[in-house]
Amino acid sequence: MTASIDFYDGRSARRQGVVLRLDGDRLCLDGEAVSRSYPIDACRLDEPLGGAPRVLTLPDGGHCEIPRTSGGADLLAQLGARLGTRDGASGAVARLQRRWTVALASLVVTVAALAAAYQWGLPWAAGIVAPRIPAALTQHISDAALSTLDRTLLKPSALPEERQQALRSRMAAVLGPPQGGAGRPAYALHFRQGPMPNAFALPSGDVVVFDSLVKLAGSDDEVVAVMAHELGHVAYRHGLRQLLQSSVVAYAVGLYLGDVSSLASGMAALVLEFRYSRDFESEADRYAADRLRQAGLSPELLGQILLRLEQNQSTHSDERGTLLASHPDIQARVAALQALSP
């Protein structure tokens, strides 16, 4: 059970060849210029790391490197039995498993923390910041978004001017004058030709209604019901909140990828998709239901046009940018609106 072992005394980097020997409770170390012995229980045999020599740490700060082959193996087996650590693959596997468990656990915790920040932290922060964005900046963002859309996706309305005026008058009669007031947001009504029946509101209160939505509606009051829903998004600042959240994510991704210009394209994509969360849609629906009831109209008007949109959608399912994508769970929303009706 003797073998030539590399010994380092812990004070110099010099390597010395020694012989290690177990003698009862003591470990004896003998070399040309050194002769020591230690209580075996005060020594520590490190866990194996790949095929590297095992390191035996000595109580005086020195250490030995014991090869895993050629004589070292016998010594390691005895030391391992004595010091309670297992030699060879089983020890390595156990250590590796512990490492993986720790790594997986910290990965899970990290992902959960990021998900929580995304799920709750970001919307919370956006909800705080959105109302503090100055009106001038809100208008600027909205104008930029509308002119981008006018260049890329939208065409001027083909509705006759008197038809547009009639809808403006009806909107004012039901939802109040465009300048807002008494907690109601100011608004401006625009008509455009878009790729499918739809309407959207920009954070400034600019409500854009597509000609095809007017044609699809069973009555002007159904169009007004959609406008009321869009004003709900304005009143609760859903657009700004969504924009802030997406921008933070886009900015973080941009930083990570080292490409901050992706922020700009992220914003453009958001404006083009005008997609809201389910909570935002429900909130806007309830807002619309309140406004319609205050004007003596039934919240079911909104449910009716939602069903028309869904029906129209299912026959034109190949078109891009669907209102169904921005208004999920139509059936659930229609049921909720029925429940809100007198």
Q: What is d(CA 24, CA 22) in angstroms, rounded to the nearest whole number?
A: 6
Q: What is d(CA 37, CA 30) in angstroms, rounded to the nearest whole number?
A: 9
Looking at beta carbons only, is 252 or 324 nearer to Zn ion?
Answer: 324
- Tell me how far, at minimum, the Cβ of 327 lies from Zn ion, in Å: 6
In the structure encoding, which two tokens stand for residue 244, read together? 């802030």
Contacts of 276 (CB under 8 A, 6+ apart): 233, 238, 242, 284, 326
Considering only residues 169 through 208, tell me which ones interact with Zn ion, judged by CB under 5 A. none
Looking at beta carbons only, is 62 or 194 nearer to Zn ion?
Answer: 194
Looking at beta carbons only, is 72 or 239 nearer to Zn ion?
Answer: 239
Looking at beta carbons only, is 45 or 284 nearer to Zn ion?
Answer: 284
- Tell me how far, at minimum, the Cβ of 145 lies from Zn ion, in Å: 16
Number of helical H runs and strand E runs in the chain: 13, 11
- Tell me how far, at minimum, the Cβ of 211 lies from Zn ion, in Å: 19
Neighbours of 321 (CB within 10 A): 15
**What would the x/- binding string for Zn ion be over residues 232 to 271, using CB under 5 A?**
----------------------------------------
> From residue 268, how far is each of 131, 201, 246 by CA, in Å?
22, 15, 11
* 8 Å CB contact between 38 and 31: no
Looking at beta carbons only, is 222 or 281 nearer to Zn ion?
Answer: 281
Looking at beta carbons only, is 75 or 228 nearer to Zn ion?
Answer: 228
Looking at beta carbons only, is 214 or 284 nearer to Zn ion?
Answer: 284
Looking at beta carbons only, is 202 or 284 nearer to Zn ion?
Answer: 284
Q: What is d(CA 126, CA 201) in angstroms, rounded to the nearest whole number?
A: 18
Dihedral of the CA atoms 107, 112, 117, 120 (nearest 10)? 170
Share of the chain residues as helix, strand and coil, in percent rounded to the nearest 5: 55, 15, 30
- Tell me how far, at minimum, the Cβ of 161 lies from Zn ion, in Å: 27
In the structure encoding, which two tokens stand for residue 167, read together? 């809808």
Looking at beta carbons only, is 223 or 284 nearer to Zn ion?
Answer: 284
State the number of binding residues for Zn ion (CB under 5 A).
2
DSSP state of 202: -
- Tell me how far, at minimum, the Cβ of 147 lies from Zn ion, in Å: 22
Sheet (strand 206-210) strand order: 155-156, 188-193, 206-210, 199-201
- Tell me how far, at minimum, the Cβ of 154 lies from Zn ion, in Å: 18
30 φ/ψ sector (left φ>0, alpha ψ -120 to 50, else beta) = beta
> From residue 126, how far is each of 122, 135, 141, 266, 308 by CA, in Å?
6, 16, 16, 17, 33
- Tell me how far, at minimum, the Cβ of 200 lies from Zn ion, in Å: 8
- Tell me how far, at minimum, the Cβ of 201 lies from Zn ion, in Å: 8
- Tell me how far, at minimum, the Cβ of 277 lies from Zn ion, in Å: 10
The residues that bridge with 56 in the sheet, in sequence order, are: 45, 64
Considering only residues 271 through 300, tell me which ones interact with Zn ion, judged by CB under 5 A. 281, 284
- Under the rule (CB under 5 A), what is the footprint of Zn ion? 281, 284
